[in-house]
Structure formats: C-alpha cells, structure tokens
C-alpha cells in the first residue's frame, strides 16, 4: 500500500495521529509540521532522543541573551519554577492546541513585562494570538495567586518582582533550547509535564500552586 500522504513510497509505519500507516519519509518530514503527533508516539519519542543528542544551542539567539544564570539558580528557585511549570501544564491540559511556540511567546512576553516593571515602568505588549494572550493572562493571575498563598503561609510574600522576572527569563531560555521550531512541536511541554504525576492534570486547574 502506498503512503496516503505522498503516494510515492510504501506505507510501512503506523501513525497514531492519522490512525493509518504512512511511509518513513513522510513520518520524518511531516512530524509535528502537518501531523499533530501524540506525545506517546514511539517514533516521536525516538526522534526527540536523537534531537537531544545533536543539540548545540546558539545562546546568542536565546531570549534575553545578555542574561546568564548560575547552575544553582534552578535549585534556589525550585518552588517558583515548579509552580509556573504547573500552571503551564494545567493550561495546556485544558487547551490541547497549545504548542511550544505558544509557551515561548507567553513566557518571553511576561518576562519582558516584569523586566520593565522592575525598572519602574508599567508596560504590557499585547500578544497577537488569542491562545497566547490567554496563557499570558493565566500565568499572570497564577503568579499573583502564588504570592497570596505565600503570604497566607508565611505572613508575607517574600518573592520579589525581580525574582519572578528571572524565573520567567530562565524558563523562556529553557523553552527556546528544547523547542524544535516545528509548528506543532511540544518537546518542551512534554519535558515539563514529566516532573508531575501522570494524573495531575486530568481535572486541571491552571492556578499556580506552591510546591
């Protein structure tokens, strides 16, 4: 049987997204481009392992390339970073169409908002796409809830705008490193999900929580 995509090569590989067999060439070229691959597709997972092995990030093209982080940053900000990650994953669980480029746009834009805020300015640049704007607003609200919960627990909120800015910049850079640039790519999102239990988002609420 010929591949239903190209009609040239033999269909030898079952595509879970299309629920039919396609050729290996189309699997490789259309994966996360025209095919919305499920995260548990074995061919997708294998390709990501291969991509990770070849990864050579160009840090000059990262979001906020002038900002560098020490190795201990993620450890010192673990709770805040995990809380933002939780909010991202919960939002994505309710919006299946979310891809890495949406995450990058929302994180980068919100980081810029906090960066201007810490300099004494209040400025927000609206995102072009409704889904990205919704994620931006969800993260913004979730961070406020994080502060409120911290105040209830400790009697005051200790996290400063500058720390939130840095956390968002750090996650923006991490997303840029792991995102493969494909229109339907979710490599970073799937990596982020791995830190939470599989059933954590079955009835997801995207409020950021203290972890």
What is d(CA 143, CA 42) in angstroms, rounded to the nearest whole number?
A: 35
Element (H, E) at 20: strand 20-22
* pLDDT mean by block of 10 residues, the chain; 211 residues: 94 95 96 95 92 78 92 91 94 95 96 88 84 95 88 78 95 93 94 89 54 42
Q: Are residues 105 and 160 in the same domain?
A: yes
- Rounded to 5°, the CA angle 206-186-173 comes to 80
Q: Are residues 141 and 170 in the same domain?
A: yes
Q: Is 15 helix (H, G, I), strand (E, B) or coil?
A: strand
Q: Give the residue from 151, 75, 152, 161 showing the smallest Cα distance to 121.
A: 161
Domain that holds residue 29: 1-56
Q: Are residues 88 and 176 in the same domain?
A: yes
- Please give the pLDDT value at position 149: 86
Q: Are residues 73 and 156 in the same domain?
A: yes
Q: Residue 187 pairs with which residues in a beta bridge? A: none
Q: Are residues 39 and 63 in the same domain?
A: no
Mean pLDDT across the chain: 89
Q: Are residues 150 and 175 in the same domain?
A: yes
Question: How many other C-beta atoms can be found within 10 angstroms of the C-beta atom of residue 197?
Answer: 8
Of 11, 33, 56, the residue at which a domain comes to its end is: 56
Q: Are residues 52 and 72 in the same domain?
A: no
Burial of residue 91, with CB atoms counted within 10 A of its CB: 0-12 exposed, 13-18 middle, 19 or more buried: buried
Q: Are 29 and 45 spatial neighbours (Cβ–Cβ below 8 Å)?
A: no
Q: Are 51 and 63 spatial neighbours (Cβ–Cβ below 8 Å)?
A: no
Describe the crossing of helices 78-94 and 161-178 by its angle, rounded to 10 degrees. 60
Tell me how far apart the terminal alpha carbons of the chain are, to the nearest angstrom: 52
pLDDT digits (tens, 9 = 90+) for 39-86: 999 999 999 888 877 777 788 889 999 999 998 999 999 989 999 999
Q: Are residues 122 and 42 in the same domain?
A: no
Q: Are residues 142 and 102 in the same domain?
A: yes
- Please give the pLDDT value at position 153: 80
- Please give the pLDDT value at position 211: 42
Q: Are residues 88 and 50 in the same domain?
A: no
């Amino acid at each position: 049987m010929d591949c239903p995509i190209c009609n040239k090569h033999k269909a030898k590989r079952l595509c879970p997204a299309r629920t039919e067999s396609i050729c290996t060439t189309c699997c490789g070229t259309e994966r996360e481009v025209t095919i919305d691959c499920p995260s548990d597709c074995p061919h997708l997972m294998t390709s990501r392992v291969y991509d990770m092995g070849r990864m050579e990030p160009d840090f000059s093209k990262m979001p906020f390339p002038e900002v560098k982080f020490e190795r201990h940053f993620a450890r010192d900000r673990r709770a805040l970073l995990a809380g933002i990650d939780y909010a991202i994953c919960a939002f994505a669980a309710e919006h299946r169409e979310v891809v890495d480029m949406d995450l990058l746009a929302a994180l980068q834009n919100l980081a810029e908002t906090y960066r201007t805020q810490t300099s004494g300015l209040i400025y927000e640049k609206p995102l072009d796409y409704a889904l990205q704007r919704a994620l931006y607003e969800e993260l913004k609200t979730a961070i406020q809830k994080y502060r409120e919960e911290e105040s209830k627990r400790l009697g005051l909120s200790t996290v400063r705008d500058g720390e939130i800015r840095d956390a968002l910049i750090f996650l923006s850079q991490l997303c840029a490193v792991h995102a493969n640039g494909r229109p339907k790519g979710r490599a970073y999102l799937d990596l982020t999900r791995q830190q939470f239990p599989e059933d954590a988002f079955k009835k997801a609420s995207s409020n950021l929580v203290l972890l």
